[in-house]
A and B are shown apart, each in its own frame.
Chain A
Amino acid sequence: MDNVVLSRAIMGTSLGFHIVFAVLGVGMPLLMFVAEGIGLWRHDAAWLALARRWAKAFALIFAIGAVSGTALSFELGLLWPGFMAFSGSIIGLPFSAEGFAFFIEAIFLGLYLYGWERLSPLAHWLTGIPIAISGAASSLFVVMTNAWMNSPTGYVASGGRVIRVDPLAAAFNRSTPTEDVHMLVSAYLVTGFAVAAVYAAGFLRGHGDALHRRALPLAMAMAVVASGLAGITGDTSSRFVAGEQPIKFAAQEGLFPTTKGAPLAIGGVPLPDQHRTVLAIEIPNLLSLLTTGDPNATIKGLDAFPQDLWPNVLIVHFSYQLMVGLGLALGFCGLLYWFLAARRRAPPIDRWLLLALVAAGPASVVTMETGWFVTEFGRQPWIIYGVMRTSAAATTTPALGPTFAIFLLVYLGLGLTLARLLLRLAQRERQNATPIDTAPRR
């Protein structure tokens, strides 16, 4: 494999690993804050116990997020020196702001995790506010830099050298509003469904105690609100991409010929060599309608662009279909849960629904990862859209193959150990649970 492929493989693995912990770093603090707040407000020991239990798990998750994020800071230079030499001064502002947000999150998390006995209950609860805010701010800041790679603005270059920079214009580029908001709500979506899956599994295995009866509805509340917002912002994003990066849009929709009254292709296999997508269910005029509001509008297909500017159509189309399909299924799951809860005036714990929620946890992670696949694979061959090709940005170092192998092993080891520890932690917490936590179910 050449250096560009290996650099992309290492960066993609690192990002795909880190993002799982990053989204939990955004969402978990909000859940902990709400649980502890309700516990203090109602003098409810079970809510407080829940916040403590989540904090123990979150300590592990946050640390893995912190070290895998550090890997990314290094890898920006180690793998993409050409990209960083050009764009460091342009996108440095949101990165530095993210640095501060992360700093604040780390500091207050230290206070939160180790301060249960040292701070008053109210002061302890209040330390949750900067954690939740800085977690969300980190996501907003860091996605700004990715948005800039999609919509590079705010600088003047001459002879490959950046000579003038407007850092604010670069940070608040055209892609920022849609990408930023869509990622933030997706972080809450993944957290909601991931936590719900843990407690749905607990119910299924007969551990449905007072903590489970509090945790599952809270997680599902976050999940359903976030899915609704993710649907709206996802739709906005797609329509934005249609105008901003029509090649990416054509690839995600599997559309080859430029078409008036374009149909929406559901599923299907794009065959770039034959310039067509086969085996898709086509709904006439729907793509034009969804994209522009006019069923007869013309949508540019891949054939309107030179083939060397096409991304990997198969990956982009497949990822996009998976993201949309799973996203809709997740939203349906959330609505169903609350529909049943409202009708029965009690949170539902039917076996089939719990099984679906257990599946929804990993599915939400896949939804988010495939969303990033669309963004990243869809932008190729560019690292900075229309400005710098990915192949021009990669490092020339000879040691990339072993690096990739080692990082894969490290991430595998970290992931497996973390999973094992979280399971053990849950087991131990149940054994040590006080009577109030294990009050019998109604």
Chain B
Amino acid sequence: MTDLTLADGVAGILLLALTAYAVLAGADFGGGVWDLFAAGPRVRAQRTAIAAAMGPVWEANHVWLIFLLVGLFTAFPTVFAALSVALYLPFTIALLGIILRGAAFTFQTHGYEAAGELAPWGAAFGAASIIAPAFLGAALAAVAAGSVHATSGPNVTTGWVSWLAADLALLAVALCAYLAATFLMVETEGDPPLQADFRRRAFGAAIVSGVLALIGLVLAWRQAPLLWSELTGRGIWLLLIALINGPIAAFAVWRRSPRVARVAVAAQIVFVLWAWAVGQWPALVPPDFTIHGSAAPETTLLALTVTIAAGMVVLAPSLWLLFRVFKGRNPAA
């Protein structure tokens, strides 16, 4: 039984990494969305606030993805290979988005001083910030709906071209934007007009993501019976918590309590992911791959767990220091 417990534990760690990436990097992607849609009399101030908020942390936030990929191919190598084959196209497009987003952001922020506005890269930053979460969302939809099979051949549209995937792609972008808007409300607490800009954006994102989430539930019910049964089975309580946080977040935005709103939006993302994961347990990528059936030999799982534990001893205080210095009481100082 030890073997099973360890594999489940590693799967749980990977879920936490996915959650951390979704929330932290999600907010960074959302920042890119608002950079693209910066408008009104404070365009420059909006973009400066976004760059200041993302600058010190986006690379660290991005590493959760590396962590997730490496953990997946170490602990569940056949699953990593099957996902890479079946979802070749969405992953490749998301990867291009990730590359261009990071490069464009860096060119813009660090190059601005030297070269001024870099027109194509400014637009690339925004566009890539939409492409990356959208295609990762579509890929997640394909996995959750059970469309990735062990024998998935080289068909580039397998599973991820569906109404549900389209909806989840848009929902992923909308949630990133929503999350970023509430984060930016916190960052701009010293500048009421600028904060009002992001508050309006948070409202817009709240409505859009709410509608897309409800459409997603209907689509899951009608078109993805596997996902629907998972969400309404063991995952139902987590799903309900996620849904309850919808109105809480919107209310907090209306009440100008960005710190509460930030947590409530993040909670929606976290609990939806957990509802899906807990609902489909013990499957890792349903229907063909279970956690226990696809896990690496036990020594690998043990070595990975020890590495992660040892790594966390160094990582946790470092992350605490990073966020303490840049996201403390006076983030704009």
Contact = CB atoms under 8 A, between A and B. Distances in A.
Contact of B81 (A66, A81, A403): A81
Interface string B82-96: 111100110110011
A133 to B, nearest CB: 10
A107 B111 CA distance: 21
Contact of B318 (A82, A107, A425): A107
Nearest to A74: B95
- Looking at A85, A113, A425, A428, the one whose CB has the most chain B CB atoms below 10 A away is A85
Given A90-B300, A93-B74, A81 B66 contact: no
A78 B74 contact: no
A99 B154 contact: no
A424 B113 CA distance: 9
A162 B82 CA distance: 16
A291 B20 CA distance: 52
A60 B99 contact: no
B67 A68 contact: no
A119 B328 CA distance: 14
Interface string A95-116: 1111110111011111101110
B67 A398 contact: no
B63 A92 contact: no
Interface residues of B, number: 66
B111 A410 contact: no
A78 B69 CA distance: 12
B113 A118 contact: no
Interface string B33-50: 000000000000000000
A417 B81 contact: no
A81 to B, nearest CB: 4
Interface in B299-333: 299-300, 303-304, 307-308, 311, 314-315, 318-319, 321-322, 325-326
A202 interface: no
A192 B272 CA distance: 50
Nearest to A130: B318
Q: Is the interface of A mostly helix, strand, loop or mixed?
A: helix
B114 A100 contact: no
B132 to A, nearest CB: 11
B114 A88 contact: no
A421 interface: yes
Interface in A292-307: none
A71 interface: yes
A111 B99 contact: no
B325 A111 contact: yes
B59 A110 contact: yes
A70 interface: yes
B210 interface: no
Given A60-B107, A100-B307, A118-B325, A406 B96 contact: yes
A93 B304 contact: yes
Given A68-B99, A92-B300, A111-B56, A399 B106 contact: no
A59 interface: yes
Interface stretch (A163-171, A362-370, A379-387): A163-171
Interface in A301-354: none
Nearest to A83: B81
Given A67-B103, A92-B296, A93-B304, A76 B73 contact: yes
B85 A81 contact: yes
Contacts of A82: 81
A427 interface: yes
A237 interface: no
A5 interface: no
Interface string B54-79: 01110110110111011101111110
A107 B307 contact: no
A56 B110 contact: yes
A67 B66 contact: no
Contact of B92 (A396, A399, A414): A399
Contact of A115 (B95, B118, B325): B325
A109 B318 CA distance: 11
Contacts of B113: 56, 425, 428
A76 to B, nearest CB: 7
A388 interface: no
A64 interface: yes
B37 to A, nearest CB: 23
B153 interface: yes
Contacts of B89: 399
Given A93-B304, A396-B154, A421 B77 contact: no
A70 B321 CA distance: 24
B59 A165 contact: no
B115 interface: yes
Given A66-B102, A88-B77, A88-B80, A424 B300 contact: no
B149 to A, nearest CB: 14
B303 to A, nearest CB: 4
Given A67-B98, A100-B314, A114-B56, A77 B83 contact: yes
A168 B314 CA distance: 21
A92 B95 contact: no
Given A81-B85, A100-B315, A410-B96, A111 B106 contact: no
B281 interface: no
Contacts of B308: 96
A24 B309 CA distance: 29
A84 interface: yes
A88 B296 contact: yes
B300 A417 contact: no
Given A114-B55, A165-B299, A414-B103, A89 B67 contact: no
Contact of B99 (A93, A108, A130, A410): A410
A191 interface: no
Contacts of A424: 111, 114-115
Contacts of A414: 99, 103
- Looking at B75, B82, B121, B318, the one whose CB has the most chain A CB atoms below 10 A away is B318
Contacts of A168: 303
B45 to A, nearest CB: 19
Contacts of B297: 89, 162-165
Given A70-B62, A78-B84, A84-B73, A396 B153 contact: yes
A110 B70 contact: no
Contact of A102 (B56, B66, B98, B300): B66
Given A71-B95, A74-B95, A395-B84, A96 B60 contact: no
24 contacts: A63-B59, A63-B110, A67-B103, A70-B98, A70-B99, A74-B92, A77-B73, A78-B88, A81-B85, A88-B80, A92-B77, A99-B311, A100-B307, A103-B66, A103-B67, A103-B318, A107-B319, A109-B59, A115-B325, A165-B297, A397-B85, A398-B154, A410-B100, A427-B114
Given A78-B92, A84-B80, A397-B156, 15 more contacts: A66-B62, A85-B81, A89-B296, A90-B300, A92-B296, A92-B300, A103-B315, A115-B325, A118-B325, A162-B296, A166-B299, A167-B299, A168-B303, A397-B88, A406-B96
3 closest Cβ contacts across the A-B interface? A92-B74, A88-B77, A77-B84
